[in-house]
């Protein structure tokens, strides 16, 4: 992705490794400033995932892959590093997929940094292909709704839900993106809006409750969102609020697409009921920009993800094509 750093346009990834240090874009500071977080230990990497320096399923996976590489370089026990990293966030399947793959590759004798670099490059390439495949569902003149941030920042590059939009824009299609602000952490308003601004794609931020109104008035042609974990039957866990968007899309006959690399599919789960859902701190709901908005003593609940059942999903866009949810099982390999 192209980012302006210190007045210069730089082509960077969300995560990479250089001189035995894992580099990350500090996403908590966006869109106000572009700064980089350097992780020199497994614990630094784990804390970066926990504190949302890096977030988004494929980006978390690639970051954890580099965490395993760091442990191997330092001669630390890999099973302990894997356990620490797997305990950071429970929902994004890429985290578990990446760590298990790294352990397998290192076990086969692949040099650890090469294994992590290969993993990150593969994810980046999958997302590029998601863009090419997903471009076909976007027509010239379409208005597209997206939720949370499933862009380059949530992957290694290109994004998942944003990849088809980038591709359509580059291919000269005129598109408009409605960006759900995505309370409580505002990944839409802060991160997706930042990425779309950088790409010169026209957009408007809407509050999380506005999409129903815009669909009823015919102003949204399709929805594309990302995924944190997809069960074998095509049920999809994604950022809280996704399920409601799928319901209103169905009620208004608006196509609802999910875009994700196959590294997000957990074939061990029959359906979405057993996807672990992260519950985050109530202070994220009770405060905005560090200021408390609710009366003293108010309680809050803060589930970070919800599950959209396969029957509400028009298609799942992966690096291998566009699939009906029930066709996912065929991709197991």
The four Cα atoms 164, 152, 204, 221 give a dihedral, to 10 degrees, of 20
306 carries an active-site annotation? no
**Closer to ligand MRU by Cβ: residue 78 or 269:** 269
Provide, rounded to whole angstroms, the least separation between the CB of residue 116 and ligand MRU.
19
Contact positions toward ligand MRU, by CB under 6 A? 55-58, 92, 148, 150, 154-155, 160, 187, 226-228, 238-239, 304
Beta bridge partners of 176: 143
**Closer to ligand MRU by Cβ: residue 55 or 72:** 55
**Closer to ligand MRU by Cβ: residue 54 or 310:** 54
Provide, rounded to whole angstroms, the least separation between the CB of residue 303 and ligand MRU.
11
Provide, rounded to whole angstroms, the least separation between the CB of residue 182 and ligand MRU.
8
Provide, rounded to whole angstroms, the least separation between the CB of residue 82 and ligand MRU.
20
Q: How many whole angstroms separate alpha carbon 89 and alpha carbon 12?
A: 25
Peptide bond into 119 cis (omega under 30): no
**Closer to ligand MRU by Cβ: residue 60 or 68:** 60
Provide, rounded to whole angstroms, the least separation between the CB of residue 278 and ligand MRU.
8
Q: How many whole angstroms separate alpha carbon 333 and alpha carbon 327?
A: 13
Question: In the structure encoding, which two tokens stand for residue 330, read together?
Answer: 């065929």
Question: In the structure encoding, which two tokens stand for residue 114, read together?
Answer: 């090469």
**Closer to ligand MRU by Cβ: residue 110 or 198:** 198
Provide, rounded to whole angstroms, the least separation between the CB of residue 239 and ligand MRU.
3
Which residue is at the shortest CB distance from ligand MRU?
Answer: 226
**Closer to ligand MRU by Cβ: residue 149 or 314:** 149
Q: How many whole angstroms separate alpha carbon 26 and alpha carbon 33?
A: 9
Give me the catalytic one of 180, 228, 235, 266: 228
Q: Which residue numbers are catalytic?
A: 228
């Amino acid at each position: 992705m192209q980012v302006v750093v210190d007045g210069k346009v730089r082509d960077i990834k969300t995560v990479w490794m250089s001189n035995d240090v894992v580099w990350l874009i500090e996403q908590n500071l966006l869109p106000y400033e572009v700064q980089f977080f350097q992780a020199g230990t497994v614990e630094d990497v784990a804390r970066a995932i926990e504190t949302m320096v890096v977030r988004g399923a494929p980006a978390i996976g690639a970051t954890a892959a580099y965490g395993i590489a760091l442990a191997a370089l330092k001669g630390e026990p890999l099973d302990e590093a894997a356990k620490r990293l797997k305990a950071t966030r429970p929902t994004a399947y890429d985290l578990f997929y990446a760590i298990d793959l790294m352990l397998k590759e290192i076990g086969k004798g692949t040099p650890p940094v090469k294994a992590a670099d290969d993993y990150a490059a593969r994810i980046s390439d999958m997302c590029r292909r998601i863009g090419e495949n997903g471009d076909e569902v976007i027509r010239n003149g379409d208005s597209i709704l997206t939720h949370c941030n499933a862009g380059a920042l949530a992957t290694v590059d290109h994004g998942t839900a944003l990849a088809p939009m980038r591709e359509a824009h580059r291919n000269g299609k005129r598109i408009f993106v409605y960006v759900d602000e995505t309370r409580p952490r505002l990944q839409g308003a802060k991160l997706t809006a930042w990425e779309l601004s950088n790409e010169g794609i026209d957009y408007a931020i809407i509050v999380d409750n506005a999409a129903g109104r815009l669909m009823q008035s015919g102003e949204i042609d399709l929805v594309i969102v990302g995924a944190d974990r997809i069960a074998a039957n095509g049920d999809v866990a994604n950022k809280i609020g996704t399920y409601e968007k799928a319901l209103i899309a169905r009620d208004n006959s608006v196509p609802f697409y999910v875009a994700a690399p196959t590294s997000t599919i957990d074939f061990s789960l029959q359906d979405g009921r057993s996807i672990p859902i992260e519950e985050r701190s109530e202070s994220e709901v009770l405060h905005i920009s560090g200021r408390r908005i609710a009366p003293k003593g108010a309680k809050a609940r803060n589930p970070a993800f919800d599950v959209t059942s396969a029957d509400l999903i028009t298609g799942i866009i992966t690096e291998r094509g566009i699939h009906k949810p029930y066709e996912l099982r065929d991709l197991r390999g």
